[in-house]
Structure 1
């Protein structure tokens, strides 16, 4: 029985290793050459597996690309969340400023070559904009809604309905990221998008309470 379990474990490990090798090889090739210029024969050669192994794990090249895009987006989301946790520990009690800083960190991430090409440029072109919208919804909506709720509770922004505010801000961030990714001068686009975004966000700030004038 123990021998059977060990055999199954080795088989499962081999299957997982094969899939991981395919995703890693495809990720490097897609980031370097782009989706159209990368053939499945290039991927299996780089991963050192057979073509049959590729089609065992993935329906086709687009399905493999979806896995690569998801992994890239997940890693970036985890990195940004880790940054926000560190900021929150250093500056507790100001959710709105933390969120604004987090938006700027995301725009910085949009200048990362692999993330930019795979997620922002190739992703919508290969899988359609619905794929990008799904990633935003999966990795961003909940955290954004929580941060906005806390900002409202702290009195830092106007008490607006959180659900539509979340979707509209997510769309704004999405458009800013695509603007950066498609610009010829990425650095300038990043600076310009960051300035415009923060100015728009400043408009959500709650006005300080007015002290009634004393009657003379």
Structure 2
């Protein structure tokens, strides 16, 4: 008989957090933040209420963890989509990767609608600064450094372009034409060319 390896406390803790975040993501997408109760969350995650409050101060803290995880996933997909391209093309392909990442069911609702309502604009902006705006900031800085685009204020440009990409994602989620949105975003970025 083969002995099973017992998980360590950090492994169990990490698994519990992951289960809570996954269950919460699903619940928040299907029902929304306001209509999701903590009993719903612990039942879906298969954990106790005590486990929820051991890992997260409250439902809002769990929602923040979901938003953080989704934002990080989007940034990872953008970085993968923008890899190995010349700077200007990298900005364009990163934008296309962003829209593809936001097409994951529920992501637009979580990140662009519910997050600001639940966490407040300042907290959402802080999360975005670590992920989506960061990828844009890095892409713009690289393009300026390589003289592919005009030297513009990187922070302001990243925030404004980020807002344009967010608006495009919302438009597409509401049935707007993805091709038209991409054409406009491409024109915006190409307009920065030296």
- Looking at CA atoms only, which structure, 1 or 2, has the larger radius of gyration? 1
Residues 116 and 124 of structure 2 are in contact (CA less than 8 Å); yes or no, is this contact kept in structure 1? Answer: yes
SS at 1:156's partner residue? coil
Q: How far 1:10 sits from its partner (Å)?
A: 2.5
Count of residue pairs brought into register by the alignment: 190
Which runs of 5 or more structure 2 residues have no equivalent in the other structure?
Answer: none
When residues 53 and 191 of structure 1 are mapped into structure 2, their CA distance, relative to the original with a 3 A threshold, is: same
**More divergent stretch after superposition (140-149 vs 28-37):** 140-149
After the TM superposition, which parts of structure 1 deviate over 6 Å for at least 4 consecutive aligned residues?
A: none
When residues 100 and 45 of structure 1 are mapped into structure 2, their CA distance, relative to the original with a 3 A threshold, is: same
Which residue of structure 1 lines up, in the alignment, with residue 190 of structure 2? 202
Q: How far 1:31 sits from its partner (Å)?
A: 1.6
Deviation per CA, 1:23-76, whole angstroms, max 9, x where unpaired?
111111112222122111111111121111111111111111111111111122
Q: Residue 149 of structure 1: which of 141, 145, 160 is its match?
A: 141
Which residue of structure 2 lines up, in the alignment, with residue 211 of structure 1? none
Q: Could you tell me the TM-score, scaled by structure 2's length?
A: 0.84
When residues 149 and 19 of structure 1 are mapped into structure 2, their CA distance, relative to the original with a 3 A threshold, is: closer
Which residue of structure 1 lines up, in the alignment, with residue 61 of structure 2? 63
Q: Could you tell me the TM-score, scaled by structure 1's length?
A: 0.76
Which runs of 5 or more structure 1 residues have no equivalent in the other structure?
Answer: 1-5, 207-216
Deviation per CA, 1:52-102, whole angstroms, max 9, x where unpaired?
1111111111111111111111122112212222xx1xx4xx211111121
